[in-house]
Amino acid sequence: MSVFPATAAAKAKGRGTTAAGSRPRPRKNQRAAYLFIAPLGIGFAVFYFWPLLQTFAFSFTEFGAFGGHTFIGGDNYARVIKDVTVWQALGNTLIYSAIGLTALPIAIVVASLLNRRGLRGVALYRALYFVPFVTLPVAVGLVWNWLYNGDYGLLNEVLGRLGVDRNHWVSDPSTAVYAIGAVMVWSTTGYYLIIFMAGIKGIPRDYHEAAELDGAGALRRFFTITLPLLSPTLFFASIICMINSLQTFDLIYIMMAEKNPAIGDTQSIVGLFYKWAFIENAQGAAAALAFLLMLLIAALTFLQFRLQKRWVHYG
């Protein structure tokens, strides 16, 4: 009873400025901080950290016909490494990544064109280029399958006028990977465009103006000013691009019907993972494959960070 008015008075009068009054606060504050973090922490523990440990455990087991997992050591990893379809999927995935990276130079060129002094309609162009990225990938896949259609597709019609032979683009094993890769570039260019536009905005106009006074043409300025100063952004974008394209799945799943003869020539690692895990019930091997994919992503990211010093300029 006697304590209460005292603290109330201290609060009202002293406004907690004395050292003694604020002393107990940090601990209370700490408890509050943990409460702030708790919901996310619990979610992460249940849906991310625990599953991660479990996948690791799965990768050393075999899923029995009557349920339950039996420990089989490194057999799953051996199976993954020996399996020809894995190597084929790895090859396809690397091709997708290589094609996917071409979105970066396209986006840089468009971004620097949009940076032209006094150009009108910049916002409209940006909006239009970004539309494919926002669109449902399933819808994108269906539309492009129709454009690529061998019998009635518009692409054959247009290319035919230019003298190119008709082709079944997505069911011909020699073109399918590239046809899908082109759609990946088409749908991600707008995303990188916005990233590069933000990066180019950070380059002071004075640099360009000074170079222009010295007689440097647009092309020269692009290579000596824009590109070097944009290299940190380009570095970041290439890492994002690589990480995403190594995990590519959606478009391929949609564009390749089950009986498509080119299915093996287009399957990505995540596509193969999905097949093993949820269709063929080979969860152990699928888990091992997922772990190897993560190692691959980590290794390539590490490599990019190492190579960074050679070409990225931090001004």
Partner 1 sequence: MAETSGTQAPPAPRRRVDAGSVATHAVLSLGALVMVFPFLWQLLTALKTLAETSRVPPTFLPDRWNWSSFEEVFTALPFREMLTNSAINTVGRTLGQLVFCSLAAYAFARMRFRGRDVLFALFLSVLMVPSSLLVLPQYDIIQRLGLLNSTPALFLPGMFSAFGTFMLRQFFLALPKELEEAARIDGAGSFRIFRSVMLPLIRPALAALAVITAMWSWNDLLWPLVVNTDPREMPISAGLTSLEGQYETNYPVMMAGSLIASLPMLLVYVFLQRHFVQSVALSGSKS
265 binds partner 1 (CB under 8 A): no
For the bound state, the minimum distance from the C-beta of residue 52 to partner 1, rounded and expressed in Å, comes to: 6
151 binds partner 1 (CB under 8 A): yes
Any idea which residue has 């399996």 for tokens? 83
Our measurement of the distance from residue 198's CA atom to the centroid of its chain's CA atoms, rounded to an integer in Å, reads 18
129 binds partner 1 (CB under 8 A): yes
Size of interface with partner 1, in residues (CB under 8 A): 94
Cα→Cα distances 71→60, 76, 282, 288, Å: 6, 10, 14, 13
303 binds partner 1 (CB under 8 A): no
Question: For residues 267 and 93, what is the distance between their CA atoms, to the nearest angstrom?
Answer: 8
Which three-class secondary structure state does DSSP give residue 178?
helix
Contact present, 289 and 81 (Cβ < 8 Å): no
Q: Which of residues 10-39 bind partner 1 (CB under 8 A)?
A: 11, 15-17, 26, 29-30, 32-34, 36-37, 39
Q: Which of residues 174-193 bind partner 1 (CB under 8 A)?
A: 186, 189-191
Which three-class secondary structure state does DSSP give residue 202?
coil
String marking each residue 195-224 x if it binds partner 1 according to CB under 8 A: x-xxx------------------x------
Q: What is the DSSP letter of 70?
A: E
Cα→Cα distances 303→25, 241, 290, Å: 46, 15, 20
| Nearer CB in complex with partner 1: 84/124 | 124
299 binds partner 1 (CB under 8 A): no
For the bound state, the minimum distance from the C-beta of residue 91 to partner 1, rounded and expressed in Å, comes to: 18
Q: Which of residues 92-111 bind partner 1 (CB under 8 A)?
A: 110
**Which of 80, 86, 184, 237 forms a contact with partner 1 (CB under 8 A)?**
237
Contact present, 285 and 79 (Cβ < 8 Å): yes
**Which of 9, 78, 142, 307 forms a contact with partner 1 (CB under 8 A)?**
142
Phi, psi of 102 (to 5 degrees): -65, -15
* Structure tokens that stand for 11 in this block: 């609060």
Q: Contact region for partner 1 (CB under 8 A) — 87-95, 97-105, 169-177, 289-297?
A: 289-297
| Nearer CB in complex with partner 1: 35/174 | 35
For the bound state, the minimum distance from the C-beta of residue 146 to partner 1, rounded and expressed in Å, comes to: 5
170 binds partner 1 (CB under 8 A): no
| Nearer CB in complex with partner 1: 174/314 | 314
For the bound state, the minimum distance from the C-beta of residue 115 to partner 1, rounded and expressed in Å, comes to: 10
**Among candidates 200, 188, 277, 279, which has minimal Cα distance to 240?**
188
| Nearer CB in complex with partner 1: 66/174 | 66
**Which of 101, 147, 159, 312 forms a contact with partner 1 (CB under 8 A)?**
147
137 binds partner 1 (CB under 8 A): yes
Contact present, 311 and 231 (Cβ < 8 Å): yes
Phi, psi of 62 (to 5 degrees): -120, 135
Question: For residues 245 and 269, what is the distance between their CA atoms, to the nearest angstrom?
Answer: 10
| Nearer CB in complex with partner 1: 177/197 | 197
**Among candidates 134, 136, 151, 235, which has minimal Cα distance to 191?**
134
Q: Which of residues 56-95 bind partner 1 (CB under 8 A)?
A: 58
Contact present, 251 and 184 (Cβ < 8 Å): yes
Question: For residues 14 and 126, what is the distance between their CA atoms, to the nearest angstrom?
Answer: 56
138 binds partner 1 (CB under 8 A): yes
